[in-house]
Amino acid sequence: MALKLYGPPPSCGELNYPADDYADALDEMKECTFEEFVKSLVRHSYGSERQCSRYRGVHHAGEGRWEARIGDRDV
């Protein structure tokens, strides 16, 4: 997100990985508007396709129930 808002280092601050690792992502970000970029983040974020809790592995089972899943098996 910082790369889209502020551009490449050092203006965007410290990155988690070397700046070269973000080259492909930066090219993609340059081709879209900020609004398109945010929509893309929301669309690809965890839990956007179906209702999920904020806890990893816990999913909405319907009718107000939640279930924990590890791999393919229910717990």
Residue in 17, 39, 15, 35 with CA at minimum distance from that of residue 7: 15
pLDDT at 72: 61
Cα–Cα dist 46/7, whole Å: 25
Tens of each residue's pLDDT in the chain, 75 residues:
677 777 767 777 787 788 788 888 888 888 888 888 888 877 776 554 555 667 777 877 877 788 887 766 555
Could you tell me the residue range of the domain that residue 35 belongs to?
2-74
Q: How far apart are the first and last CA of the chain?
A: 36
Tally of domains within the chain: 1
Cα–Cα dist 75/72, whole Å: 10
